[in-house]
Structure 1
């Protein structure tokens, strides 16, 4: 390299550029991996915890409904009637008619004995929409019955157990009756 003169007569050389070091700093990566490992170790017992959610129906009426609605077929709550004022609305589970007063209780007992907690609500196009919403409400009210039965079976208060959800699905396509 050529020598340059500064004011005052001093000369200097330019330093060669340092080569870029391709080494990666792995300390943050190790920290993140260790934190994730700890999180997974703590969560593993929680994920593997199972709760009993399948109970037999408690009385003869419900056993008849359970036999008419086997576990391998969807549980369909049909809303029939209501097309005119002379035509009363009837809520049916299979061939059994559910009384308005005890529909959520009986529906909850049936749902608690099934592995899936899904109720399909079916109605004709002439049925008033309010009655269809009432059937959907029966399905969501039955969730309390299911959770109460599970708590009684396990002998624990309901607040200590995770909540079992009952799903109500409104059917838009006709389900054939058996």
Structure 2
């Protein structure tokens, strides 16, 4: 008889999950995200120069390098020259246009001095693309390690 009474008194297991704490955590996270989301859109306005620059692909030939000094003076380096040749804007356009007519896939890089005006460097890049008809013009830089060493 003792065994039959045990069977009838056995309780059913409750398999429900208490979700109230999870709802509380979800609401707190929702409030945190609602407060921080507008703060993530804060930015700094930068007045960048405008240009019709196009993307640049790599070439296997030696590129032409236009150097812009800190005072805005220009010099040109190309294959066959030992040292950079000082040029003005008109001579730069004429020479580079001649190089590009000989080889339309020629790459031209603009190497601006760190203290040169960004506007001046960008104007030279635009001048090369617009007037000298350079299809592959880009900016040249130095790796971060060599810049720290100077």
TM range (shorter): 0.3 to 0.5
What's the TM-score, normalizing by structure 1? 0.38
TM-score for both structures, normalised by structure 2: 0.45
RCO comparison, higher one (Cα < 8 Å, 6+) = 2
